[in-house]
Structure 1
């Protein structure tokens, strides 16, 4: 572990960037593969089959927008004195203002360090970032409130983090979907720009599981795929919000269960758990999740379990 340094609280309120990312349809496909699309060679092909590489036509998995704020260039640039080896994604709340429809474009993301909060010695620091991503035409595509937990950097005397309460239904889920996370999913996902060694280097982990762990946005992308296919199949552009807390790591090879509750028209709650959670009582991997989606013209979808 690196030597602990002073937390630069004077950086709070500063905006960084723009961080520029050029993409083509290949980048969109690689990202979808990193979120488990096409696992069986068939499911999720709308994100993978461009049909004509000279005139590609894809559906874009909206989770792509969440990745832009945790790109390694972003996290390395906004260095307020934290210990990189102990940085973990804590949660995020992304609003989708417009869907990505272009098969190639230049995206520009600015990120404001909105807050630094102290959880106490041994519990870490929470960092709040607000990111805005625009297309080359200047239109706002995504706004993302993203939180990191820096597990080695607590106890510096900062303010407590604000409370964030999400009501979850006290009943069985309306929809469940089970999926196994393949051992190489992290190796694919990291090609989208999150190069943290904890996802590939077997010698990098100092605490917790002594092996690489999956990227949180990767398995959140799995949940998003399940919600789309269950409630508005083939229309990912309907998603307007995705919020979650990342509550425990996922090990590649795990079999996970997405649990979805419809709580209102155009609004879901979700969590992601091990498929054997009833017998093990293990902690959810994603919890207190909210998905909002546009219901304009949407047929009444019957919830199912599969």
Structure 2
């Protein structure tokens, strides 16, 4: 049985001990397209160690380490071919700005397994503690969609009503991606061949390798932090999104945002494909 909720729900995954320094942060930011204008001081905040800031979405990397080892997804009570697995959503809540160097121990727990009929949804909650002790630096939630694994008799889960804005967007931001964007992003740790191997992608039902959901998540967060907070990522307290559709490397993303006190809501589409959804239910919150 590929999905066994009795085994999965409540299971602890092995802790991840993750260390990083400025080189890791720079690699991550460059994999998101940072430095596209190397003469722009706001871009150099992400691409040069002098005055380096850390995007909050960097915190989503550590919890995913070891979960996507080709060729299968192997979790307690969950077994699936990686070709059937998509990242369904991600959220990060920060206790404060991320440092440019650090070491954390990430505790990970499978908290929900939902039966959506044609697919299964697996939710992993993570808490990152400083390796030398102390209060958590961040908490995150990763949602995985396993296509074709539904029908195991589990709970379907609540269906939330979609948020519908009541006015035109306050801002619209376009973000270019590179044809080699997924190949660059793989250097951050996710080596799923779905993002690199054309034959593997076709076997999974896609015409070409797709961009990592977490890469799209980071690209959009970077664009919004630049547009609304003038690149001051230290103010960000949280970022979440649901991955609503695939993005192919080289496509331009268009993000429409509705700004309120201390935060915004947004949605990202691909204009070249009739505004096909990419990210939905994007939320960015900040302090100050």
Q: Distance in 2 between matches of 1:215 and 1:90?
A: 11
Checking the alignment, whether the CA contact within 8 Å between 1:178 and 1:258 is kept in structure 2 is yes
Q: Using the alignment, how far apart are the partners of 1:25 and 1:14 within structure 2?
A: 33
Indicate whether 1:58 and 2:52 are aligned.
yes
- Cα distance in 1 for residues equivalent to 2:76 and 2:182: 25
Match of 1:67 in 2: 61
The alpha carbon displacement at 1:8 in A equals: 5.2
| Higher normalized helix content (fraction of residues) | 2
CA distance in 2, matches of 1:184, 1:80: 35
Separation in 1, partners of 2:198, 2:87: 19
Q: In the TM superposition, what is the alpha-carbon distance from 1:5 to its structure 2 partner?
A: 3.2
- In structure 2, stretches of 5+ residues that fail to align are none
Give TM-score, length-normalised by structure 1. 0.85
Q: Take 2:245 and 2:68, find their aligned partners in 1: how far apart are those partners?
A: 23
1:39-96 deviations in Å (ceiling 9; x for gaps):
2334521011113xxxxx4101111011222223477563423313211100122211
1:168 and 1:288 in contact (8 A); partners too = no
TM-score w.r.t. the length of structure 2 is 0.90
Aligned CA-pair RMSD: 1.9
Contact 1:94 1:145 in 2 (8 A): yes
Per-residue deviation, 1:166: 5.2
> Matches of 2:271 and 2:38 in 1, distance apart?
22
The residue number in structure 2 matching 1:304 is: none
Instruction: Give the number of equivalent residue pairs.
Output: 280
Query: Which shows bigger deviation, 80-89 or 175-184?
Result: 80-89
Native 8 Å contact 1:107 1:134 kept in 2: yes
SS in 1 for 2:214: helix
Please, which moves more after superposition, 66-75 or 30-39? 66-75
Q: 1:159 to 1:28 in 2, by over 3 A?
A: same
User: For the structure 1 residues 164 and 146, does the alpha-carbon distance in structure 2 shift closer, same or farther, using more than 3 Å as the test?
Assistant: farther
Correspondence for 2:120: 125
> Does the 8 Å CA contact 1:83/1:152 hold for their aligned counterparts?
no
Given that residues 274 and 284 in structure 1 are in contact (C-alpha distance below 8 angstroms), is that contact kept between their aligned partners in structure 2? yes
Matched, 1:24 2:21: yes
Per the alignment, residue 100 of structure 1 pairs with 98
Counterparts of 1:203 and 1:164, CA distance in 2: 36
